[in-house]
Amino acid sequence: MSFTIRAFTPADYPELARVRNAVWPDNPVLPETLEAGDRRLKPGLVLRRLVAEQNGEMLGNALFSQMEWLYHPQKFWVGLTVHPEHQRQGIGAALYEHMMIELHSHNPIKLLASTRADKPEALRFAEKRGYHEEFRVWESRVELSRFEPVRWASDLQKVRDLGYQIQSLADLLDDPDYERKMYELDHAGSHDVPLPPGEQFTFPTQERYWENTRSNPDFDPALWFLAVKDGEYAGVSMLFKRPADNDLNTGFTTVRREHRHRGLALALKVTALTHARQLGKTAVRTENAQVNRSMLAINEALGFEKMPAWIDLAKVLRAGG
């Protein structure tokens, strides 16, 4: 079929969302969410999008980007999306070829991508081009109509008896040191997050951490829940808004090592789910590495049901990737 490939422009965000939502109807996004995500990328990092179109209609798109939180100047995240009505017509192959030509000038050593286990055609496309599986992540979802907070009352009382209070970040904004405490808690927990082999977090400065957080339109301090004891932030479970549907996303849940094995993670998750239910939300979603059995066990106990797994893929182009 006849189509053209060109650079992405800001006017393309509505079409970008339309194509993406056609491919992932169970995980919709709004155009403004995609635009905000691009704007939040740290200045100086590479982000390039391409569009395949016909008569002004977007058929598909591709992107490559350096990764702020897994930063390496020669490692890039790549993505490719073709509208279901236009797949298997050579559009994805053409977009990929154009993307690789543009990537060449950045001297990449490794490319990372992701798709879901229920997208076998996408897996075949990637494998044909030299990508292999590195890591799997479960996405899970709990229907809040089935979640019964009263079942977990004793677990909440247990942590209270140990001297912990669970408060939202919104309740702690009067703490003159909350920015440092929250940052250090997140930073400490990041060391325990499972990652694909050969990758490590590039944790931002405290200033960049809060700049990135506050520029996220889905951030709400009333949706971050912390376990506090004697002024110390011992653990956190974060929720984020999903403006395209009535669910909430789970961000990071972590407990400082010296406070673990006291039921804090469970209590934080219960508090977050209870709040989401009170807000009238339909469900809460989360993602966990398949090797993270401790958090998976908590989520399973709370009623989270697994969706198809996300598969992280990689293509090593040169030594060091």
d(CA 319, CA 303): 44
pLDDT of residue 17: 98
pLDDT tens-place values along the chain, 321 residues long: 799 999 999 999 999 999 999 999 999 999 999 999 999 999 999 999 999 999 999 999 999 999 999 999 999 999 999 999 999 999 999 999 999 999 999 999 999 999 999 999 999 999 999 999 999 999 999 999 999 999 999 999 999 999 999 999 999 999 999 999 999 999 999 988 999 888 989 999 999 999 999 999 999 999 999 999 999 999 999 999 999 999 999 999 999 999 999 999 999 999 999 999 999 999 999 999 999 999 999 999 999 999 999 999 999 998 877
pLDDT of residue 271: 98
pLDDT of residue 321: 77
* Three-class secondary structure assignment of the chain: CCCEEEECCHHHHHHHHHHHHHHCCCCCCCHHHHHHHHHHCCCCCCEEEEEEEECCEEEEEEEEECCCCCCCCCEEEEEEEECHHHCCCCHHHHHHHHHHHHHHHHCCCEEEEEEECCCHHHHHHHHHCCCEEEEEEEEEEEEHHHCCHHHHHHHHHHHHHCCCEEEEHHHHCCCCCHHHHHHHHHHHHHCCCCCCCCCCCCCCCHHHHHHHHHCCCCCCHHHEEEEEECCEEEEEEEEEECCCCCEEEEEEEEECHHHCCCCHHHHHHHHHHHHHHHCCCCEEEEEEECCCHHHHHHHHHCCCEECCCEEEEEEECCCCC
pLDDT of residue 105: 96
pLDDT of residue 247: 98
Q: Which domains does the chain have, with CATH numbers?
A: 4-108 (3.40.630.30), 140-306 (3.40.630.30)
pLDDT of residue 14: 98
pLDDT of residue 1: 73
pLDDT of residue 143: 98
**Residue of 320, 313, 319 lying closest to 130 (CA atoms):** 313
